[in-house]
Structure 1
């Protein structure tokens, strides 16, 4: 089973780690239990969380037992940020987000078989922890010098706003999570984002001091682009995994727009395609960059992982419809609406002269110019060429969602909305 570490390293999924040789020997002795924690600081996971989830799935595929920890307790506190104190969310809000994240996370791992995943909530044990227990059972094992030296804490202490005792204490609670899971489930490996290194090591040290036990830690990298800038923003914000916060169409397009220089690395990190096949995809993409084969495969794989194969097919059909390759009438209204969300649009109605709609959309300046475009065969509605200058919008031209696709030439596409 230890070859999984070589696989993870080859994919660029390991940033920092404790004794990797010792961990390899531990894995060779049989399946282990490991965990990763996710705080409910919002209603959805984003692409950064996906890196951690994918690492968990690789480990599960290799036979190991995952614990998915949702921080119902730590989400009430908030991990210190590099700048600025977090606003404490209402307990009811955190509880709601905890449920949403639990549901999202349950889609990515297997909950069947000998190494079935299990979701745990640190509120279950943290809510029972008294102040005396915290100070005597946990706090006595921490040294102020170590806690103050952590990068985020040090930066906050040097800033004008400082850091509250609440956020400063977060590292004790996360360390206690590892200790509790060690005691309850014999969990000996914690994974997490690279920015969590200090907290993860704190938990490992607590296990050693409190129980005399041995545990391991490894982190996933912060994903960056080839130019070194942070990866993963759209004009609308984060790359959310919740389809109500970022539509499957927009999600697919984000991955499809990946730069050539980033494709290989992202295929390794965000997909389960074998490394040999990734080499083939990259070689073919390099030979024929205009086909964007790597980007298409990346978008297919990640969208299917997050939203399912059916949603991915709908997205691809919507893209094809916009380019006139399939009949848009066969699409559902939600997917089609997502696909045209960023296109120029104008109000339309059944019985409206086509030339009026063309003018309203700004495809031509004036009805005369619109008529000349139609006479020249340069206008289509829903992929069908408009033959007559006096044509009007008919009922059968209204697509699901009250949408009408109006195209001038090959590239100028706009939307009439009923």
Structure 2
């Protein structure tokens, strides 16, 4: 059986480790308890968080016990960002987001069995902690010169950083110490952008408890140009279907760049590494089929939203471009797909024509351009070529009595809702 560290390495999931040989020995000797934490600074987790949840699941599947921490206290402060001071959310908002995220993370790890995950909240051990005890028992272990040397802190010094954000590292380090004491936790995982916080926790456990514990960080996931992965033109790709529809989620993956799709398959799916290698070979030979992207989108959407939503998103993706029947799409899926494609609303009382719709959606710059597209045979409504530019979009032209899919040529897609 492949050692879990070998699998993580093969998938490109290890950026840093405090002591790889010692960690391997402990993982081999017997099941260990590890933790990964998430701060509720938004009502949902996003793609970057997904990588951490899937890494936790890989360790759990290898027999190790996860502690999934949702930071009810650290979320009230927020990890400092180079861009500037965070806006603090109210205690009520943070508490609401804690519960939403606790529900969300429980979908990705097993909550029963020998390696059952435990959900924890750091508010449990900080809410009753006095300032004096915190400074005496925790603060004394943190040399200020080391805190000032942290990259994010040094970047903020000139513009200014509050004592609140400056002290965040103490709170996150306290989490590791408390989880070590309460649950025997000996490994923290996280993103490489958290490496300073994670290793500070390792050092605190050594100083305060006299114990040696481990840290492991995954790499920052980027696009081919080096920018952070997980952002689209419409913003952050969230795991919550109310914030990013399953169709939009699917699209964010199927648009993966050729040079990165193999990397994403290894990191974000459970497809065996040798099978991914075969997919990469197939993709290199026939890139136009986009087999690797379609597999990636289907796998990750299934993990996050379930097989039914993944199938619906895949069907919608094909149907919009004429490769499947639009009438097979549920209205919720069709509506989400068209809203993602920039659909606009038109009033039925205005008797909108094909030309009106093409101009309203931006598929044509003017009515004359829209008429020209129709005349040249490049205008489609619901995947049917349009020959009459004055065709009114109503009745039989509307799917579910409301929607029309517009296409100009092979790839330019939009839509309208008529009500």
TM-score by length of 1: 0.91
SS of match in other structure, 1:24:
helix
Q: What is the aligned partner in structure 2 of residue 245 from structure 1?
A: 243
1:20 aligned residue: 20
CA separation of 1:311 and 1:372: change in aligned 2, threshold 3 A: closer
1:408 deviates by 5.6
> Does residue 52 in structure 1 map to residue 49 in structure 2?
no
- Other structure's SS at 1:340 match: helix
State the match for 1:361 in structure 2.
358
- Listed one character per residue, the Cα deviations across residues 37-73 of structure 1 (whole Å, up to 9, x for unaligned) are 1001111111111111111111011110000000000
Which segment is superposed worse, 75-84 or 111-120?
75-84
Whether the 8 Å CA contact 1:345–1:416 is kept in 2: the answer is yes
Q: State the alpha-carbon separation in 2 of the partners of residues 217 and 367 from structure 1.
A: 63
Query: Which residue number corresponds to residue 222 of structure 2?
Result: 224
The alpha-carbon distance between structure 1 residues 248 and 60, as it changes in their structure 2 partners (threshold 3 A), is same
Give the CA deviation at 1:359: 4.4
Alignment of 1:314-329 (within 5 A): 314-329=312-327
CA distance in 2, matches of 1:368, 1:14: 53
Contact 1:321–1:327, Cα closer than 8 Å, also in 2: yes
SS in 2 for 1:66: strand
SS state at 2:153 partner:
helix
Alpha-carbon offset, residue 229 of structure 1: 2.9
Residues 136 and 367 (structure 1), Cα distance of their counterparts in 2 relative to 1, 3 Å cut: closer
How big is each residue's C-alpha offset from its partner over 1:341-360, in whole Å with a ceiling of 9 and x where there is no partner? 2246562639948xx33344
More moved, 202-211 vs 41-50: 202-211
Kindly tell me: are residues 416 and 82 of structure 1, through their superposed partners in 2, closer, same or farther at Cα, counting changes over 3 Å? Answer: closer
5 Å-filtered alignment, 1:8-407, equals 8-157=8-157, 159-160=158-159, 162-341=160-339, 342-343=341-342, 345=344, 347=346, 349=348, 352=351, 356-362=353-359, 373=374, 380-384=380-384, 393-400=393-400, 402-407=402-407
Unaligned runs of 5+ in 1: none
* SS of structure 2 residue aligned to 1:259: coil
CA, structure 1 residues 395+204, in 2 after alignment: closer, same or farther (shift >3 Å)? same
How much has 1:361 moved relative to structure 2?
A: 2.2
CA RMSD of aligned residues (A): 2.6
Offset of residue 142 of structure 1: 2.1
Greater Cα shift, 341-350 or 179-188:
341-350
Aligned residues: 413
1:327·1:382 contact (CA, 8 Å) conserved in 2?
Answer: no
- Cα distance in structure 2, aligned partners of 1:401 and 1:199: 54
Shift of 1:398: 2.2
Equivalent pair of 1:45/1:101 in contact (CA under 8 Å): yes
8 Å CA contact retained: 1:223, 1:230? yes
Shift in alpha-carbon separation, 1:116–1:291, aligned structure 2, 3 A? same
1 CA distance for matches of 2:379 and 2:234? 32
Check whether the contact 1:35–1:69 (CA below 8 A) recurs between aligned residues.
Answer: yes
Partner of 2:7: 7
Check 1:80–1:397 CA distance in 2 against 1; reply closer, same or farther (3 A cut). Answer: same
Q: Is the 8 A contact 1:67 1:117 kept in 2?
A: yes
Give 3-state SS (helix, strand or coil) of 1:361's partner: helix
Q: Give CA-to-partner distance per residue, 1:87-119, whole Å, 9 cap, x none.
A: 221111111111111111111111121001111
1:200–1:406 CA distance, 2 compared to 1 (3 A)? closer
Runs of 5+ unmatched residues, structure 2: none
Cα deviation, 1:194-227, whole Å, max 9, x if unaligned, reads 1211211121122122222121011111112333
Alpha-carbon distance change, 407 to 257 in structure 1, aligned in 2, over 3 angstroms: closer
**Shift of residue 242, structure 1, vs aligned partner:** 1.4
